[in-house]
Amino acid sequence: MITTTQSGVRRWLVRLAVVATALALAGCGTLLHPERKGQASGDIDPRIALANGVGLLFFIIPGVVAYAVDFSNGTIYLPSGHTQAQVDSVSFEEELDIATLELMLAEHLGKPVELDHELLLAERVESLDEALALVRMSGVDDAERLETL
């Protein structure tokens, strides 16, 4: 006969297993970093790999599924080039509108570009020096510069 205490513990363990399985099936990287979806390759994020490994350690099948989901979505990879800024100079004769600029950037980068994204700042500058100053003021590569001091 099962007592009330054993029944409560069993229900708690079943709920814990269901939640852990659901999280592992969804993939840690997919839940924690949905903005990384679509990356083809790169350096593996050790935190995501470790979290998936914990799922693999405790729950074999959901852990394998978590790795599969994160690799297939590309969410296990660290964002590429997020710490290095690059400034290219392009000369043009006519007035440049947003649609033309998006097309030029898409052609240069080899992938679609939308300049109305919340994490993107597009600003008209008078010179390359002004553009470089804006990049320096943005804080890009500050960690690397501080390490050299």
pLDDT digits 0-9 by tens, 36-88: 787 777 888 888 888 888 777 777 777 788 888 888 888 888 886 544 455 67
pLDDT score, position 82: 47
Same domain? 108 vs 66: no
Rg, the chain, Cα only: 23
In a domain, 79, yes or no: no
16 and 55 belong to one structural domain = yes
Domain count, the chain: 2
The pLDDT of residue 83 is 44
Question: Does 108 fall in a domain?
Answer: yes
Question: Is 117 part of any domain?
Answer: yes
Q: Are 141 and 84 in contact (CB under 8 A)?
A: yes
In a domain, 91, yes or no: no
Higher pLDDT residue, 138 or 11?
A: 11
Same domain, 19 and 61: yes
- What's the chain's length in residues? 149
Domain boundary residue among 21, 38, 73? Answer: 73
Lowest mean pLDDT among 22-26, 32-36, 44-48, 116-120: 22-26
Q: Quick check: is 85 in a domain?
A: no
Task: Give pLDDT, residue 113.
Answer: 81
The reply to whether 131 falls in a domain is yes
To which residue do tokens 């597009």 refer? 122
Let me know whether 64 and 103 are in one domain.
Answer: no
User: What is the secondary structure of 57-109 as a DSSP string?
Assistant: HH-HHHHHHHHHHHHHHTTTBPPTTSS---------SS---HHHHHHHHHHHH
Domain that includes residue 123, residue range: 98-144
Q: What is the pTM (predicted TM-score) of this model?
A: 0.42
pLDDT tens digits, 14-25: 888 777 666 665
Is 21 within a domain?
yes
Cα–chain center distance at 119? 13
